[in-house]
Amino acid sequence: MKIIKSIGISLLTFVLGLASCEDILTVDSSRYTTVDENTLTSPNDSVSSILGLLSGLQDIGERYILLGEMRADLLDVTDFTSAGIRELSNFTVSDTSVYADSRDYYAIVNNCNYLISRTSDDNSPLKKENALAHAIRAWTYMQIVFNWGKASYFTEPLLSVNDTQKEFPEYTIPELSTALIADLEPLVGADYPNYGTIYEFESSELFFPVEVLLGDLYLWRGASTDDYATAARYYAEYIDRKTLGNRVSTPSAAWEYIYFTSHIESRRNGWSRETVAQTGNSELVTAIQMATDVSEGKVNNLQTNYREFAISKVMEDLWDDQSYVLHYIPATGSASNYFTTGDLRKWANVPGTIRMVNAANESFLFPYLYKIFNAYHFQIYRLGLLYLRYAEAMNRAGYPHIAFAVLKYGLSPLTLADATRIPPDELAAAETLVSVFNTEKFTTAIGVHARGCGDTAYNPYYTIAKEGEILESPDDTIRRVEDLICTELALETSFEGNRFQDLMRFALRRNDPAFLAKQVASKHEDDYNRIYNWLLNKENWYLPHP
């Protein structure tokens, strides 16, 4: 049990204020109302109440990226990295650090609790907002438990000093997952409000789909193969619903010619723009919207802090170690496969450099990180990520060849009909979890690995087992596919805020802290032993409590 003292007086006169005209996501503090005055009984309260919650998410957007990436293995520090961010990377965060402060997260939870408590009646005109508040609360609670290891769980709003002195249960990741599953599953299929366009985003792109949250929760709990199968089902249902049009269009970066002399021309790189939250991104599921100028509201400060970030050698090696294949069919003659090394998502991630000259006329070059410097907003979910989480869930549900097919071939009617790609008995056993992909709109689906490695379906070297190796048991196969998924998560979703949590999830599932410790310590060549030994203790994965 834990007393929520950290929330403090700032939440006692909570209230979902009214949105100002100047910044639609900023609540005008001069127009706050008291708890008793704000009853949320009018449809006019709907937009302002939800915008109040979205404004709270803006306060934690930067931390979502930094906590997920700087503590992991792919993003590194530079000589210009600020002390706070360097402490994240070095696992030396103190309890007085801004990154150890969970109050902004609990403030969002409490605000959601308030809205839910005022709109739970079946006759409430804000029933759709009620469902959305449950989803925002669940996602925020997940961030708390992932970053601090435990979350103080409360579902009623704290509205007085006495309320903040109450004791509440502290839930671990499995315990919180169970509680949130129970909270969200009754809302599957519930409608969310539709506010049209908020600046350039459809309002739906600022919301958290219940199916995706449930997929994550079952994936993290992972108490049985049934949990993983349920996670896969929720991901598949959402991917099917999200995918629009007659055919799937999968973004990729590709070489132009068989001689590998030209790449990343605009017409050969449809991948980069799909990895940041912006208008026209067909991959976008959920974003935290920020202002594009400080005069309009809260902005993404990571864009202008390019001096603080470097690509780790781990990431460089992952990109360079991949094999690229181009399957070429000439007008006459037979098809041929042409090979080169490297994943083109390297160049799509880092298309160039930025030069800075300081006051002493010293010149410095910094990598131009596309996902950070082109992102005014924070992309939380996109389809590429969901495909990989679906593969992760299917693999642990006992369907490793289907999971591998997500990486190499793409789930399409062709793949599902090919017994050399997926064993018929595995396909039959998993039919209800994979059947949504056996439709015409998925005919053009490609493997996630093919987004940067060419015609991966024709690559004889991209296999589950290494050359000459025999995997002796189903568990060996599942473990190997999971390793490939972990690598693909780095190649596809690097710098998007998920990496440390991904490594945590795999290590917890395997009951193997060394899995995470080794991966993260490999970034710290000069401090490997300290970082490795520190992270062998799972308690050190989490931020200190202030």
Q: Are residues 148 and 283 in the same domain?
A: no
For range 58-68, the mean pLDDT: 97
As given in the structure block, the two tokens for residue 432 are 């209800």
Tell me, yes or no, whether 8 lies in a domain: yes
**Segment (H or E) for 64:** helix 61-69
Q: Are residues 36 and 175 in the same domain?
A: yes
Tell me, yes or no, whether 371 lies in a domain: yes
CA distances from 27 to 11, 130, 462 (A): 15, 19, 52
**pLDDT at residue 357, rounded to an integer:** 76
379, 411, 446: which is the final residue of a domain? 379
542: left (phi over 0), alpha (psi -120 to 50) or beta: beta
DSSP string, 100-142: G--HHHHHHHHHHHHHHHHS-STT-TTHHHHHHHHHHHHHHHH
pTM confidence score: 0.93
Q: What is the DSSP letter of 25?
A: T
As given in the structure block, the two tokens for residue 152 are 């103080």
Residue corresponding to tokens 């193997």: 512
Residue corresponding to tokens 């961030």: 143
Q: Are residues 59 and 168 in the same domain?
A: yes
Distance CA 39, CA 73 (A): 47
Count: domains in the chain: 2
Tell me, yes or no, whether 363 lies in a domain: yes
**pLDDT at residue 356, rounded to an integer:** 78
Tell me, yes or no, whether 167 lies in a domain: yes
Q: Are residues 185 and 284 in the same domain?
A: no
DSSP string, 193-223: P---EETTEEGGGGS--HHHHHHHHHHHH--
Tell me, yes or no, whether 183 lies in a domain: yes
315, 344, 379: which is the final residue of a domain? 379
Tell me, yes or no, whether 368 lies in a domain: yes
Q: Picking from 178-182, 280-284, 320-324, 380-384, which range would have the lowest pLDDT averaged per residue?
A: 280-284
Q: Are residues 182 and 299 in the same domain?
A: no
Q: Are residues 154 and 299 in the same domain?
A: no
* Number of Cβ atoms within 10 Å of the Cβ of 493: 23
Distance CA 338, CA 269 (A): 19
Q: How confident is the model at residue 43 (pLDDT cuts 50, 70, 90)?
A: low
Q: Are residues 45 and 187 in the same domain?
A: yes
Contact present, 208 and 190 (Cβ < 8 Å): no
Q: Are residues 166 and 295 in the same domain?
A: no
As given in the structure block, the two tokens for residue 537 are 């203790």
Q: What is the total residue count of the chain?
A: 546
For the segment 9-29, what is each residue's pLDDT rounded down to a tens digit?
334 334 443 333 334 344 443
Q: Are residues 281 and 186 in the same domain?
A: no
**pLDDT at residue 15, rounded to an integer:** 43
Tell me, yes or no, whether 329 lies in a domain: yes
Pairing mode, strands 151-152 and 170-171? antiparallel
Q: How confident is the model at residue 359 (pLDDT cuts 50, 70, 90)?
A: confident
Average pLDDT of every residue of the chain: 90
Distance CA 192, CA 77 (A): 40
Q: What is the DSSP letter of 339?
A: E
Q: Are residues 175 and 277 in the same domain?
A: no
Q: Are residues 55 and 162 in the same domain?
A: yes
First vs last C-alpha separation in the chain: 16
Distance CA 109, CA 330 (A): 59
Contact present, 486 and 502 (Cβ < 8 Å): yes
165, 193, 221: which is the final residue of a domain? 193
Q: Picking from 102-111, 239-248, 439-448, which range would have the lowest pLDDT averaged per residue?
A: 239-248
Contact present, 467 and 360 (Cβ < 8 Å): no
Structural domain boundaries enclosing 139: 2-69+102-193
Tell me, yes or no, whether 436 lies in a domain: no
Q: Are residues 12 and 117 in the same domain?
A: yes
